[in-house]
Structure 1
């Protein structure tokens, strides 16, 4: 029967780090000494002498780190790496052996081994390596949690919508993110959420653990934009008092988002094209090239095809960027998303402002649906924010909406009602109904004076009298 060595955390002056270490070695003296030494320094320790015993422990216990000897009585220690690879929560593995070779070490590293130590070794050296390894594991866990949190915040789930057009964009994002595409062009009106799409592309991809760097090309003068993107060396120009790292370098292995690329100068477009083709940059005033690995996402609210025809945008850059093209529809073309978006913003500002709105009244919903939103999603967000700042209520009401929204709603409602009535009662009856309404309105405005009403309607008084009799107007 395999002997199992147990060492509990009863460290003398050492902080309790609550990590469990499994030692797999058939040398009794090493098992005993390491178990005692590590347990005295705050570790939970389990020591076993064979491969089979190690497998049993891995199945039954939660292990953070394995100290693994290569030569064991019932097999080669490296075989345990196959068991580790199948585990959901994988422990860190450090291999220790007196029979180490370069080939063995390389093979072990390729299978995911953290470090390779040759016997004999000092116990304090082992402790240092273990602590470094566990710190690495902790940082890795924190990074994965951060990436998961960022993906939830900025991934596909951050884009609110249920329309067919948005569903299609979701599909494109998933395909592009998994493909590792290096260039994407996003087109859409201002306020449609192009940066949200760019962030989703980044955080749904393997680049999510690396930076997402964004810049608005229209917000920075052309002469400064080049320095922002490429950086500069000290003394490259009058105000270059220090070396500056550009956004291309900052975005290395991640994503660089160039918003409003249609406003970039022609000369800088030429430099950008070369960067995309060579995957290298050179800081302003620099003498050597720097390799970069980025995903470049560009966006614009302009018609780049027209800019190409006008000679304002490079044709070759345009086609280099539009390998993958995503067209974001304006809000007026995806009506199904308006109310879900409005409710989402309402809940967001409830939390931010401490308000208690629970819904939107039907007339307000209809008005929001009828509005054309020249400012797109950004305008809808601003409308909801303003209401929640100014009003204290449970429901968003029609009267709380901006005047332009109510006016457009009234106009469109009238148009819709007119069309529906024509279809329902027929054109002839509809015309009669409207004519009677106009006559009644004119008589009301003229206080029943038929002569004045006829002038207002631009008809003869006799015609008006005939119509009054026809429609039995009192």
Structure 2
């Protein structure tokens, strides 16, 4: 709403200040006047303003001097210069100094309001964009990666160190769902970039015939259907990060071109022979064993060595179970906001099940299970049955139930080890081959199975 916006009008003539402030008031804006540059600076220090409209020619400090001072102190504040001494030279000089627009006296009311409205809308959009980038930076920063695991701590420390070297190629290894892209974004942001220059490419999701064009772009006529020139992901990643996810699935033919990009820091569009600068960092990620892929002939050994400059291996969630309580509360906090419902938290039994489960889908699966539980609960503590983990819980057996186990051995087969083997096999069968649930059933730890 215009009534929430405040505009300062600066002119040494009171009659002109009155005219402009009346135009603005009729359009619903709040406005105030200042008779000199010094008076304007005092007013700006007293109250926040959304726009300045200033005369160019004034006694003492003129409009250009005021513009310079304002931009030093309030660099985002839009500034319009107005003068009766209009010329191309003065307009060019004003714009070079950073004026957002330039108007001539006698002032046209409609033109003034159009310019004011456009500049205020642009400022609103820029402010919204800045808030979005700040929120994204907070969301994906290292500070938002929650872990008390020593193994994870080593990885995060190394990742923060390499973030300070924006030309170093980083290779992130780990199972699906461990957070490889989350770590890649954190490295990118810690390099001083925003997420507009973080460009992800899933090498497994794009058809082989399109992947080269998707990465490098193409010129018009490069292939059937290329009716116009197109920039690729490399161009969009300029000065930032190209994130190649599932690099282990990249076609061999394209691996040669990626190797050249890494070694010579140049690439070419499909159908062109002009080299373009590859001025960005490359971060790759994969759940595959690239050394094994090299032995199979599916991945170039020289490319592997070039990519493996700074390797980071993210541990699976089952190897950092101490992080599960903190991660769970983090995700529940997200779902409280998203769903707008009261979620008091996890029961002890539910938390025990979460910590005992093996998490083949890692953190992604944990989030999904908690989102499911958040939806199906109605204000009570989350219980094991809400998690839908498929565990057999010995704690949930009805009171008075008995467990009868019968093993039949030949005399020469019988031993403590034989009983142990039969008992663990029985527990695994009872719990659908889930070691964590079987250990709970036997009231012991998973070590019994190793």
Same fold, TM-score > 0.5, yes or no? yes
Deviation at 1:136, TM superposition (A): 1.9
Aligned partners of 1:183 and 1:297 also within 8 Å:
yes
Supply the distance in 2 between the matched residues of 1:42 and 1:401 (Cα, whole angstroms): 57
Match of residue 273, structure 1, among 259, 273, 277 = 259
Supply the distance in 1 between the matched residues of 2:172 and 2:407 (Cα, whole angstroms): 58
Supply the distance in 1 between the matched residues of 2:105 and 2:310 (Cα, whole angstroms): 55
Aligned partners of 2:94 and 2:102 also within 8 Å:
no
Match of residue 25, structure 1, among 1, 5, 11 = 11
In the other structure, the counterpart of 1:145 is 131
Supply the distance in 1 between the matched residues of 2:277 and 2:37 (Cα, whole angstroms): 45
In the other structure, the counterpart of 1:193 is 179
Match of residue 383, structure 2, among 396, 402, 413 = 396
Deviations 1:275-329 (A, max 9, x none): 4566655443356666665443321123445555766544554455455543322
Deviations 1:138-197 (A, max 9, x none): 111111122123334444455332334444555555565566557433222222111122
In the other structure, the counterpart of 2:43 is 57
- Once the two structures are superposed, the pairs formed by residues 130-169 of structure 1 within 5 Å of their partners are 130-156=116-142, 158-169=144-155
Deviation at 1:368, TM superposition (A): 3.7
* Cα separation, partners in 2 of 1:67 and 1:385, compared to 1, 3 Å: closer
In the other structure, the counterpart of 1:380 is 366
Deviations 1:329-366 (A, max 9, x none): 22233222122223444555677789866444445544
Name the SS of the counterpart of 2:148 in structure 1.
Answer: coil
* Cα separation, partners in 2 of 1:275 and 1:117, compared to 1, 3 Å: farther
Tell me which moved more, 56-65 or 383-392. Answer: 383-392
* Unaligned residue ranges in structure 1 (runs of 5+): 1-14, 410-440, 460-474
Deviation at 1:53, TM superposition (A): 0.9
Deviations 1:444-471 (A, max 9, x none): 9699xxxx99888569xxxxxxxxxxxx
Aligned partners of 1:361 and 1:398 also within 8 Å:
no
Aligned partners of 1:71 and 1:77 also within 8 Å:
yes
Matched, 1:263 2:287: no
Match of residue 210, structure 2, among 224, 235, 239 = 224
In the other structure, the counterpart of 2:282 is 296
Supply the distance in 2 between the matched residues of 1:118 and 1:177 (Cα, whole angstroms): 50
Deviations 1:215-256 (A, max 9, x none): 321233422322332344555334556665533345556543
Name the SS of the counterpart of 1:228 in structure 2.
Answer: helix
Aligned partners of 1:94 and 1:115 also within 8 Å:
yes
* Unaligned residue ranges in structure 2 (runs of 5+): 396-402, 417-450
Larger-Rg structure: 1
Deviation at 1:259, TM superposition (A): 0.5
In the other structure, the counterpart of 2:30 is 44
- Once the two structures are superposed, the pairs formed by residues 64-213 of structure 1 within 5 Å of their partners are 64-81=50-67, 83-85=69-71, 87=73, 90-96=76-82, 98=85, 109=96, 112-115=98-101, 125-156=111-142, 158-171=144-157, 180-181=166-167, 183-203=169-189, 206-208=192-194, 210=196, 212-213=198-199
- Once the two structures are superposed, the pairs formed by residues 343-422 of structure 1 within 5 Å of their partners are 343-346=329-332, 358-384=344-370, 394-397=381-384, 402=389
* Cα separation, partners in 2 of 1:137 and 1:36, compared to 1, 3 Å: same
Name the Cα RMSD after superposition: 4.6
* Cα separation, partners in 2 of 1:169 and 1:84, compared to 1, 3 Å: farther
Name the SS of the counterpart of 1:130 in structure 2.
Answer: helix
Deviation at 1:17, TM superposition (A): 5.8
Q: TM-score scaled by structure 2? A: 0.70
Q: TM-score scaled by structure 1? A: 0.67
Tell me which moved more, 239-248 or 257-266. Answer: 239-248
Supply the distance in 2 between the matched residues of 1:274 and 1:456 (Cα, whole angstroms): 64
Supply the distance in 1 between the matched residues of 2:28 and 2:376 (Cα, whole angstroms): 58
